[in-house]
Structure 1
Amino acid sequence: MTEAAPIHATTVARRGPDEAAWRAVMILGPSGAGKSDLALRLIGRGWRLVSDDYTRVWASGGSLYATAPQSIAGRIEARGVGIVSARTRWVARVVMAVACAPEAVERLPEPQTRRFAGVDLPLLALDPRPPSAVEMVAVALGTL
């Protein structure tokens, strides 16, 4: 098992196609980029919170796993409202990363990856502000 330092990311998960396995997406970006906002919209569509703002990751068996630091587990920031509780998945296998971009992204980008704890993940660059961002994450996840 290879563990990395906590990553500045919000992580959410949903059940995979076989309904038994949970698959997670790490949402990356600086403070104020829209990580928690996008995560709240995904949670509103049935996803579960793994971790908000900081995510602990480790590699095992060639896969990447995520959990929340204990001090923030089960809570997410709703900007302008405060820290709120959310339905949580305590551990999930991460299968994709989303990089919050401050503007519209390329229409047909070349596939990208990013390495975490020695595991390469597909990387989706995405402006998290449009309402369609939730569907873009779901569509991208469905292609894996």
Structure 2
Amino acid sequence: MITVHAACCVVGGAGVLIRGPSGAGKSSLALFLAAAQDGAFVADDRVICAVEAGRLVARPHAALAGHVEVRGQGILPVASLGVAVQDRAILHLAVDLVDAAPRMPDAPGDADLLGIALPRFVLDAGVRAAGLAPLLIRAALRQKRP
């Protein structure tokens, strides 16, 4: 079991682990994805990851379960935002938020968590600012579902 500085949500039944530096927008992106009809919020800031039956499972840290930190607003209960909450997710995709990605990158390869390969997707700040992140993440999930 490990603790990852990340946010986690579920999109269409698939767990998405969102990693990146502080202030990159992990929590905001997870909330945005979770707010969709087929979404749910799982964890913010400290995501507990473990291997169960050969799959990576993410859970919230007990001290933060059901809560999210929104910059400038503080720590809020996710349910108060009208967003569904789940207590766990089977991870299908790792999303890494970066400042800048190459224009025509090579495939990013997999993320390795606890010896399990997880498809990895990289999003740069420009793509996120344009509002394309949710569309691209959904497309990546359709292509990379285990």
Counterpart CA distance in 2 for 1:38 and 1:61 is: 28
1:30 matched residue in structure 2: 21
Q: Can you give the 5+ residue segments of structure 2 that lack an aligned partner in the other structure?
A: 79-83
TM-score, L = length of structure 1: 0.86
Counterpart CA distance in 2 for 1:44 and 1:32 is: 20
What does residue range 52-63 of structure 1 map to in structure 2 within 5 Å?
A: 52-63=44-55
Any idea what the Cα deviations from partners look like across 1:35-89, whole Å, max 9, x if unmatched? 0111121123232111011100111222100000110000111222222222211
- Greater helix proportion: 2
Contact in 1 for aligned 2:108/2:122 (Cα 8 Å): no
CA apart distance, 1:129? 3.0
CA apart distance, 1:140? 0.5
What does residue range 67-106 of structure 1 map to in structure 2 within 5 Å?
A: 67-86=59-78, 87-106=84-103
Instruction: Let me know the Cα RMSD of the aligned residues.
Output: 1.5
Give the share of equivalent positions with the same residue, in percent: 31
Counterpart CA distance in 1 for 2:26 and 2:140 is: 17
CA apart distance, 1:26? 0.2
TM-score, L = length of structure 2: 0.85
Indicate the SS of the match to 1:8. Answer: strand
Contact in 1 for aligned 2:9/2:31 (Cα 8 Å): no
The answer as to 2:140 corresponding to 1:140 is yes
The answer as to 2:8 corresponding to 1:11 is yes
CA apart distance, 1:110? 1.6
Indicate the SS of the match to 1:6. Answer: strand
Q: Can you give the 5+ residue segments of structure 1 that lack an aligned partner in the other structure?
A: 16-21
Paired amino acid for 2:93 = M
Counterpart CA distance in 2 for 1:106 and 1:55 is: 30
Aligned residues: 135
Indicate the SS of the match to 2:30. Answer: helix
